[in-house]
Structure formats: structure tokens, C-alpha cells
Amino acid sequence: MTIGIHRPTQLVIDQAAIYHNIAAEKARLKPGVELFQVVKANGYGHGITQVARTAEKAGATGFCVAILDEALTLREAGFMQPILVLGITEPQYADVMAAHHISATVGSIDWLKTATNALSADHQLAVHLALDTGMGRIGFQHPAELRAAVQYLDDQAQFNFEGIFTHFAKADAADTAYFEQQIDRWKAFMAVLPKRPKYVHVSNSATSLWHAACNGNMIRYGVAAYGLNPSGTELTAPFTLQPAMSLTTKMVYVKQLPKGYSVSYGATYTAQQDEWVATLPIGYADGYERRLQGFHVLVNGEFCEIIGRICMDQLMIRLPQKYPVGTTVTLVGEDHGQVISLQDIADYCGTIHYEIACGFTQRLKRTYIN
């Protein structure tokens, strides 16, 4: 997608905030526990390679991604650290992964058997066996299946049994009953292992923040690195998370809307009196959700309502007074002591901040500071 460099709309990414969030969690880890930074989905919308560089400086020793192409992006950018693809990659690409020293997630013995035929004789593929302890997404479901897979790996020189892991569905909840069920299932799986691989990992951000005793010897640090609480508002993080993303633009058109005149598609908003209205160069094609009609932005520290339907490329706000074209508008972030957070936007949209951050499209210019 074309990046909008010739309009005054930008995501501003504070690299110092990302560094802080990673370094603060690293300081809490027991000796010998590694931190792999999760940079999938373009670094949760923050920029995959830029986040990876900051994470490297903050002490991350590896990376996790969702798809093979993200891993290849890191390799092409020069990163030599271990990279684990958390999703299932088609076994036909096993040799590509092995050639680039990228670790594969495996959830069935059938995958291993198919990948065996795809691997070149001079390549060895590192694999992490995924265990489904209650997430219901991917992974071995029964200890007997795991035992068979480990035996298969022992018999095949083309594989390096590098890691084993699971993922918790409710590590971010105050009620720990389901989390404890998953722990019990995890223990049942681990009981059939004759020996442990190099990496044993169960912790995403939420697990590491609130259940650090479960960390194993590696954590997959995700959303917390970006300054976002994985629990939303249910649990308080053990240290201050610094949000790394803000979103700003500038007014490109300002007019006085006469009483009785309407704004945008469907004429869903009609002025009840003469009003000052500004048009902003951002819309739902940029990932600023159409359902945010009626929400607000910040202008000079004042909350200004979004009026009328948000368009593909533009939206309109009601001003308390006339402002000149070029006035800065904050859609996410702090302005004169007032704040609009990704959590605020998520709450208004009835979703989670992950979706909002990941939804900002590549058309938005990303500016890196600090």
C-alpha cells in the first residue's frame, strides 16, 4: 500500500517507551530466562524491523512472528537471532525455514512426516512442539500424541527438537480457575518427555506479568512491550507500561456550518446551531474505524466530537471555536494534559486495543522518535 507521506497524518512511535517496557520486564525475569520479542502483525502496527531493533537494544535475545514471511523480513533486515514462527507453516516450506534458520511450530506428527520429504539432505529444521492445553487453536491434544512425535524426532536427523510450548487463554483474568486447568494439562504433557528441549516456554505478556512462576526458560513478550496492558482494565501491571503509539493529524479545512446543515454520508448529523467544523485527512482506509462516529479527538487540550459518518479518507469534527487550517489534532495520545488511549478507542468500539493498533494500515506514515 502507498504510504501517505504528503499529508499531515502520522503514527508517532516512541522507541524509548518500547525500550522501557522491555527492559522493565527483563529486570523481573529470573536468571537464565530469555525474552523473545513478539513482532508479528508489523510489530502490532508499530513497525516490525524498527521494533526489533529497539527490542534488541533492550535485551531481547530472539523474536516471535506469526507467519514465515514476517520471519524472512527480519532475516532480510539482517537480524541473526533465533526466530520462531508461532503459526502453522505449510510443510512444503520446511526447507525454506531450515535454510534461513527459522524455527517452525509443529502441532501434529503428520506435519513432521510431510516436512521430512520437503527437507534437503543438508538442512536441519528446528521445531517447537505446540501443546493444546485449552486454547483450542493449534497443538497436540493428548500426551500420547506428543510422545509419538518426540520419538519420531529422535529417529530423524533432519529435525532439531528445539522447543516445546503452550498458550494460555485466560492468563489476563482475575479468575484463575481455567488458567490452573491448563497448568495441570501442561504438567501431564511434560510428564511424558524423556528430556526437555532447549526452550520450554508458556508465557506471553499476561502470563509473565501475573504468573511469572510459570515462565520456563523463555517468554514470548508481546503487547506489553508496546505499552498496552494485556488485561485491558481488569488487572494492574506490576510496573508502569508506557504507551508507544500516538496518532496525530492537522486540520485541512475549516468552515462555519450553518444551523440546519448536515455533515457526511447519510446526513446523520445536522447542526442545531451555527458551528465551526474542521475536516481531517484520515478515515477508515487508514484503520480509523467508521464506528468511531460520536467519539472525540483532542484540539489544544479540548475534546472535540467526531460528527457525521467517518469517510474512507476524511472525517469531520465540531470545534469549540474557529481554528486556523494546519492546527494539530491528536487522535491517540496526550495533548495539554488530556489523553486519548488505544484502550479508550477500544472501549468505544467494543473491542480490544490489540485490534485497534493492528488495524492502522500501511498508508499511515510512521514516524519514530527517541
Binding site listing? 137, 312
- The secondary structure of 184-241 as a DSSP string is HHHHHHHTT-SS--SEEE-B-HHHHHH-GGG-TTEEEE-GGGGT--TTTTSS--SS--
User: What whole-number distance in Å separates Cα of residue 192 and Cα of residue 129?
Assistant: 13
Which grid coordinates belong to 164?
516445546
- Other beta carbons within 10 angstroms of residue 23's beta carbon come to 15
Is 368 catalytic? The answer is no
* E strands present in the chain: 10-14, 34-38, 62-65, 83-85, 102-106, 125-131, 159-166, 199-201, 218-221, 245-250, 253-257, 262-263, 269-270, 275-280, 296-299, 302-307, 315-319, 328-335, 338-340, 365-369
Cβ atoms 44, 360 nearer than 8 A: no
- The secondary structure of 70-102 as a DSSP string is HHHHHHHTT--S-EEE-SPPPGGGHHHHHHTTE
User: What whole-number distance in Å separates Cα of residue 48 and Cα of residue 243?
Assistant: 17
User: What whole-number distance in Å separates Cα of residue 297 and Cα of residue 55?
Assistant: 31
Choice among 19, 40, 199, 221 that is catalytic: 40
Q: How many residues are there in the chain?
A: 370
User: What whole-number distance in Å separates Cα of residue 326 and Cα of residue 340?
Assistant: 20
Q: Are strands 245-250 and 10-14 parallel, antiparallel or unpaired?
A: antiparallel
Residue 350's φ and ψ, nearest 5 degrees, are: 70, 35
User: What whole-number distance in Å separates Cα of residue 223 and Cα of residue 204?
Assistant: 9
User: What whole-number distance in Å separates Cα of residue 283 and Cα of residue 341?
Assistant: 18
Q: Which residues fall in the annotated binding site for substrate? A: 137, 312
Cβ atoms 241, 231 nearer than 8 A: no
Choice among 187, 253, 259, 265 that is catalytic: 265
Q: Kindly give the interhelix angle for 109-118 and 143-155, rounded to the nearest 10 degrees.
A: 20
Is 265 catalytic? The answer is yes
Active site residues: 40, 265
